[in-house]
Structure 1
Amino acid sequence: MRLDQSLVLGLLATTGLALPSRRDNGVAPKQLQVRSSKYAVKQPPLTTEWTGKVGTHPWPDYPRPQLQRSQWQNLNGVWQYQNASSVDAVKSPPFGKDLGREVLVPSCLESGLSGIQEQNSLYSWFATSFKVPSSWKDEHVLLHFGAVDYEATVFVNGKQAGFHRGGYFRFSVDVTEFAKFGEENELLVFVHDPTDGGDHVIPIGKQTLNPNHIFYTPCSGIWQTVWVETAPSDYITSLDITADMHGEVNATVHSSDTSKSSDVEVTVQDNGKEVATHKSSSNKPFQFKVHSPKLWTPESPKLYNVTVKMGDDKVTSYTGFRTISKDKVDGVVRPLLNGKFIFMFGTLDQGYWPDGLYTAPTREAMVYDLEVLKKLGFNMVRKHIKVEPELFYRACDELGLLVIQDMPSLRPLQTKTLDNGTQVDVMPNPKQQVEFGRQLELLVNQLKSFPSIAIWVVYNEGWGQLTNTYPEFGLTERVKQLDPTRLVDSTSGWHDHGAGDFSNNHHYANAQCGTPWYSTDSSPYDDSRIGFQGEFGGVGHNVSIEHLWNDQAAINSINETYEMDASIDVWNYRSHFLLNELEDQVHKYACSGGVWTQTTDVEGELNGLMTYDRRVKRVDEKQWKDDIQALYSAAAARSNGS
């Protein structure tokens, strides 16, 4: 039996259902004693099976799986919230004041789960308090944010402690000098999120202040986990680690004191058994060998635990041994995994949720999507112009799903009218272009140690891509310098000038993958690079109102979906037809992989393997498994010279 949405929300409001939370010493940090209006889930246009499982202590797990410490506190939960009138509000912080409303952190302010669910949340205040244990008094206190969209100014105990720009990236603030040990500490965060308002051209992916068809409701505020932890005076700030098919481990241990090199020790374990230990120094790359490692593949996603010690600091991490490369196989340039051609096939995965928007309701819900894909036989997922919490990539590492990771697009497909009445495309100015490059570096540096990531995408369909200066060449070179272990798809779909490793075609509904024909909105196949179908499919099917994003503007745009099919049977038939066409192109031409649109419906776009609420699967599972396996078999036959 399924509870209806109104009953689920009623239970939430009256009981405050909560998941158990893993906290320092098992005790949740004390929240501000407030008189604000009490938190309750707002009625979203659509719920999921997980809406009623979120509670008031969401996302309790340690959020940074590749650099974990033992002493930490999760600060997620019910915070105070107050809308602000302008960017100047940051000059007058409301220290010690009741902000008037309660909000769930992490969440998007525009979502039902936030308890706010309001649009145009351009300027916002968030407040909570946390206790720093007296036992931490000789240590450094590090405050971490998984992601805040878009600019965050952080105050601790009445002092500005930090600032960060970029809505998709983790950042940390050393708050030791502001902290009161053994006492409550006031945390205040001012957030400015312009999305696509005014003249702002920033990385926003598919967010827009005016949702329409393939552009969706924005996400403002603190939308990933907040936590605090303790570390010694010279501590590990980040860990870069990759391991290849030959057993060579490349690592850099970055420390807070960059003026010196400290002794570090790295230990690699397999099921608790030590397989390698190496000693070196911080802040410089080093290499060592693990003999005869078991390799990471989608079929056998083997991972090794890693422990790193530097002075009094100790962190745990993990890695997988695999090599991503490209080379000619029987005269065709192919992507290789561990030296062998791998046909990458996955879905366009946008990571949107009707109850949480950018923030999945629970970790279980987020992983559910990936498990559905894996069960059907997909070996890859394209994370489409969004960056997920790092636990998403951990799940891909564990499940054996390769990841094509997009850089979130700059403001896409919009025009503005000049004073003389001329309409021009909204494109980045030089300063905004430099900022895009800076955030691209953040993307690569923060995620490059996850074994599952195989490809970086710089631009999607020309969105925010300057076409007169060809910036993709310089950006591609920068990505390859930061991470020489992966392939780069410089321009997925449009405006391909020859940069990067892929000749990538987008076409709906039929594929044009490495073929001698192409549509004028994409590019001809370039046989010096990998032939790839970056997007295709997109066939749609309407559903009853209980599975739709119940917003009239979205409902009105349903027929803008690339193709609409009359029934689920017809939808599966059309999917089978299109997958067979792709298989034929694998046999005859130079197709090396493809991305099917898409994992789920999103708002008014109804072309998912599942509905937006994840309650209806459209797929005929046997048919899809057979068709996907046929693609792999066709690719294997080509690589064997057949």
Structure 2
Amino acid sequence: MHFPLWITALSLLGAATASSFKRQADGPEYQLKTGPLDTDWTKQVGTNPWPEYPRPQLARSEWKNLNGVWQYQNASGGAAELATPPFNKTLSEAVLVPFCLESALSGIMGSNLIHSWYRTLFDVPSSWFDSEKRVLLNFGAVDYQTSVFVNGKLAGNNTGGYFHFALDVTDLVNTNGTNELIVYTYDPTNTDGTSIPLGKQRLNPDHINYTPCSGIWQTVWLESAGRQYITQLDIDAKADGSLNITVHTSGDQGNSSVGSFDITVHSQGAEGVALQETGQANAPTLFKIDSPQVWSPDSPNLYNVTVKLGSDTVTSYTGFRTLSKGVIDSLPRPLLNGEFVFQFGPLDQGYWPDGLHSPPTYEAMVSDLKAVKEVGFNMVRKHIKIEPGLFYRACDELGIMVVQDMPAMPTYPYPYRPACTDGAVHVTPEQQQEFERELARMVEQLKSHPSITTWVIYNEGWGQSRYDRTTDVRLTSLVRSLDPTRLINTVSGWHDHGAGDFHDNHHYSFPQCGTPFWGGDSGPFDASRIGFQGEFGGVGNNVSIEHLWNVPHAISQINQTYELAETLEGWNFRVRATFADLRSQVEAWSCSGAVYTQTTDVEGEVNGLLTYDRRVNRMDVERWKGDIEGMYEAARNRGTVPDGGEEGGEGQVRRYVVGVDEPFKAEMMMMG
């Protein structure tokens, strides 16, 4: 894999600064716990985990990694303890940040950790104390509500378990000496009366829901920024070379003259500068590059981007590609750079037996993606979880399209409960409002990654009302307004109300993709929208105990798998049969993409391409390569160019532009 030079440099810097990170001499000693299952990377983690710079689309050269051994203590008194934080006190246990408190790698491996305290000490390089600089404290993600104290004062709060947040702590840190960092976390998971976006996390896991992840689970770091600093880069680069960028900035900080920025763009694989211009901050600015090398799964070309605003400089990257939809052979299709590309890949849940939500290492995380790419898949559906920025950077660089789910709320009619027998989902207005706030935050945080092709709002009715179509239409319009450059899959699976660009069916084990026959809750295929198989397959293969999540309750539920094959030969036979059926539907009907369940086993689920410990690859790789290429061939034979010829040609061409197309207008009309 090709890594930009600035990524390599920042990664090395992170490793160097992490090794000098201060910890309390009198603090408790960290010990790796023995969990139900490990991986080959578990014992490689050590006590300076994840040294890589964590936010590749907004990177600064002066930074300090705060990952490592911190102090931990359960806040048994609950939220009332916020009135008396444990300032200048040694906490009772050692925890390895950034790993979920329930994980073996954290050193805690606890349960029902609703309220928690973290504590550590840090110092700040003297060179960062300058009138033209600010000191930022960054958290990759903390589940779920967070209060942060620096040197005895509240630095800020955050709500949402999947999102990066930054705090300006310039006025709180000591210019000479040690600083104390205290973090309080509240994670209700699915306790009675709560309904938060949490994906597959459950306090009492079942066959399709897993061990929760509480507390700090992504990198914590300090960085030095300019006096007025860049808070976010929104970058949309099209295949025609147009580059639309918005440089968001912090408050004035006493320097109102800083309003313009300088931008430099150059290809990662070529000499010379492709663009060098000036623009105005906090407003969309349009530039143009001549004849860019476009991004696609076959050629994942990327361009480095440097933005300078006053005394602040950040580096980023982008890929030039255009996502749209059009009509090919009378069928609505998703288009990449003006051509129909069949999207095919696994359901990717991103769970790890040693770190749960947190992969043990960057190498481990990327190994899953490489296994997917090796057999020819060009897509993953990131299933009701949001990953660290480095995951999406890996997809950008490897050329893997991402169908990105919004993490679901737990109140859905499965398992069936008396309160849900009428099909209604009992979500309070306040809970719905929070879901929508976090939905918008997901789009804003991830929308500059070129690999992301589609946003998924709801999965299988979880947190969605079965009968209320107006909410589906409204949320589709919300996402479209935040990001008019991508397609939207409003409902993957059940309770389709006609909103969004896809009609998405889930059907196990064999597919029903864009067909005139159907089953389950998806209803008859809507031929006016793109036909998509949001989930199918799920064929399982039980393995020996050394590759299983060794929890009796999980093992007892293995037989709930859709199908079980006794041998790897039988498993490959059955899965390849589902592929053959899918290919026939691509050839005959309106199937434009499909998601096979799933990349890896997870706890009691044994239907992965890889086992949960990643030590067994079930795929007959060479045969899978042929089957997957055959799927793309079938799609190509249905035509790749929109009716009437190339974009801009005459004749029967019908090209929809996401954001101003006919379905979008219909959504607005349905809103009334």
TM-score by length of 2: 0.90
SS at match of 2:435: helix
Query: How much does 1:600 deviate?
Result: 0.4
| Aligned-partner Cα distance in 1 for 2:400–2:323 | 14
Going from structure 1 to structure 2, the CA distance change for 1:218 and 1:21 (only over 3 Å counts) comes to farther
- Aligned residue runs from structure 1 range 556-571, under 5 A: 556-571=556-571
Structure 2 contact 348–381 (Cα < 8 Å) conserved = yes
Aligned partner of 2:646 in structure 1 is: none
Q: Which amino acid aligns with 1:290?
A: I
Structure 2 contact 600–611 (Cα < 8 Å) conserved = yes
> Size of the alignment, in residue pairs?
621
Aligned partner of 2:55 in structure 1 is: 64
Aligned partner of 2:67 in structure 1 is: 76
Which of the residues 99, 106, 127 maps onto 1:107?
99
- Aligned residue runs from structure 1 range 504-543, under 5 A: 504-543=504-543
Query: How much does 1:23 deviate?
Result: 3.4
Which of the residues 238, 259, 262 maps onto 1:262?
259
Aligned partner of 2:650 in structure 1 is: none
Structure 1 contact 29–75 (Cα < 8 Å) conserved = no
Which of the residues 169, 175, 184 maps onto 1:175?
169
Going from structure 1 to structure 2, the CA distance change for 1:272 and 1:313 (only over 3 Å counts) comes to farther
- Aligned residue runs from structure 1 range 443-522, under 5 A: 443-470=442-469, 471-522=471-522
SS at match of 2:635: helix
Per-residue deviation, residues 121-170 of structure 1 (Å, max 9, x unmatched): 10000011110122111221100000000001000000011000000000
Residues 1:55 and 2:46 aligned together: yes
**Identity among equivalent pairs (%):** 56
| Aligned-partner Cα distance in 2 for 1:384–1:123 | 27
Going from structure 1 to structure 2, the CA distance change for 1:416 and 1:36 (only over 3 Å counts) comes to farther
Residues 1:164 and 2:155 aligned together: no
Query: How much does 1:229 deviate?
Result: 0.5
| Aligned-partner Cα distance in 1 for 2:211–2:526 | 37
The RMSD of aligned alpha carbons is 1.8
Aligned partner of 1:364 in structure 2 is: 363
- Aligned residue runs from structure 1 range 400-415, under 5 A: 400-411=399-410, 412=412, 413=414
- Aligned residue runs from structure 1 range 162-311, under 5 A: 162-257=156-251, 262-270=259-267, 271-311=270-310
| Aligned-partner Cα distance in 2 for 1:536–1:27 | 43
Per-residue deviation, residues 208-238 of structure 1 (Å, max 9, x unmatched): 0010100000000100000000112100011
Query: How much does 1:192 deviate?
Result: 0.2
Aligned partner of 1:9 in structure 2 is: none
Aligned partner of 2:6 in structure 1 is: none
Going from structure 1 to structure 2, the CA distance change for 1:154 and 1:201 (only over 3 Å counts) comes to same
| Aligned-partner Cα distance in 1 for 2:422–2:332 | 42
Per-residue deviation, residues 284-338 of structure 1 (Å, max 9, x unmatched): 0010100000100100100000110111111111000000110100100000000
Structure 1 contact 415–426 (Cα < 8 Å) conserved = no
- Aligned residue runs from structure 1 range 331-342, under 5 A: 331-342=330-341
Structure 2 contact 142–160 (Cα < 8 Å) conserved = yes
Query: How much does 1:414 deviate?
Result: 5.2
| Aligned-partner Cα distance in 1 for 2:134–2:271 | 30
Q: Which amino acid aligns with 2:90?
A: D
Residues 1:91 and 2:90 aligned together: no
Q: Which amino acid aligns with 2:367?
A: Y
Structure 2 contact 406–442 (Cα < 8 Å) conserved = yes
Aligned partner of 1:7 in structure 2 is: none
Per-residue deviation, residues 592-627 of structure 1 (Å, max 9, x unmatched): 010000000000000000100000011101111111
Query: How much does 1:24 deviate?
Result: 8.5
| Aligned-partner Cα distance in 2 for 1:517–1:596 | 20
Residues 1:128 and 2:120 aligned together: yes
| Aligned-partner Cα distance in 2 for 1:323–1:170 | 27
Q: Which amino acid aligns with 1:235?
A: Y
| Aligned-partner Cα distance in 2 for 1:375–1:25 | 33
| Aligned-partner Cα distance in 1 for 2:345–2:421 | 42
Aligned partner of 2:588 in structure 1 is: 588
Going from structure 1 to structure 2, the CA distance change for 1:504 and 1:417 (only over 3 Å counts) comes to closer
- Could you list the runs of 5+ residues in structure 1 that have no partner in the other structure? 1-19
Query: How much does 1:182 deviate?
Result: 2.7
Going from structure 1 to structure 2, the CA distance change for 1:281 and 1:83 (only over 3 Å counts) comes to same
Query: How much does 1:563 deviate?
Result: 0.8
Structure 1 contact 65–394 (Cα < 8 Å) conserved = yes
| Aligned-partner Cα distance in 2 for 1:414–1:137 | 55
Query: How much does 1:87 deviate?
Result: 1.6
Structure 1 contact 75–228 (Cα < 8 Å) conserved = yes
- Could you list the runs of 5+ residues in structure 2 that have no partner in the other structure? 1-10, 644-672
Per-residue deviation, residues 53-87 of structure 1 (Å, max 9, x unmatched): 10000000110001110111000000000001212
Per-residue deviation, residues 23-69 of structure 1 (Å, max 9, x unmatched): 38746343331434311110010010100110000000110001110
Residues 1:373 and 2:372 aligned together: yes
Query: How much does 1:524 deviate?
Result: 1.6
Going from structure 1 to structure 2, the CA distance change for 1:78 and 1:439 (only over 3 Å counts) comes to same
| Aligned-partner Cα distance in 2 for 1:552–1:178 | 49
Aligned partner of 1:635 in structure 2 is: 635
Structure 1 contact 34–98 (Cα < 8 Å) conserved = no
Q: Which amino acid aligns with 1:213?
A: H
| Aligned-partner Cα distance in 2 for 1:124–1:417 | 33
Going from structure 1 to structure 2, the CA distance change for 1:564 and 1:159 (only over 3 Å counts) comes to same
- Aligned residue runs from structure 1 range 134-153, under 5 A: 134-138=126-130, 139-153=133-147
Structure 1 contact 416–426 (Cα < 8 Å) conserved = no
| Aligned-partner Cα distance in 1 for 2:576–2:16 | 53
Going from structure 1 to structure 2, the CA distance change for 1:214 and 1:27 (only over 3 Å counts) comes to closer
Structure 1 contact 203–408 (Cα < 8 Å) conserved = yes
Residues 1:119 and 2:111 aligned together: yes
Residues 1:598 and 2:598 aligned together: yes
Aligned partner of 1:5 in structure 2 is: none
TM-score by length of 1: 0.94
Segment drifting more, 537-546 vs 260-269: 260-269
| Aligned-partner Cα distance in 1 for 2:435–2:47 | 35
Aligned partner of 2:663 in structure 1 is: none
Structure 1 contact 346–596 (Cα < 8 Å) conserved = yes
Aligned partner of 1:14 in structure 2 is: none
Per-residue deviation, residues 89-148 of structure 1 (Å, max 9, x unmatched): 111100010101100000000000000001101000001111012211122110000000
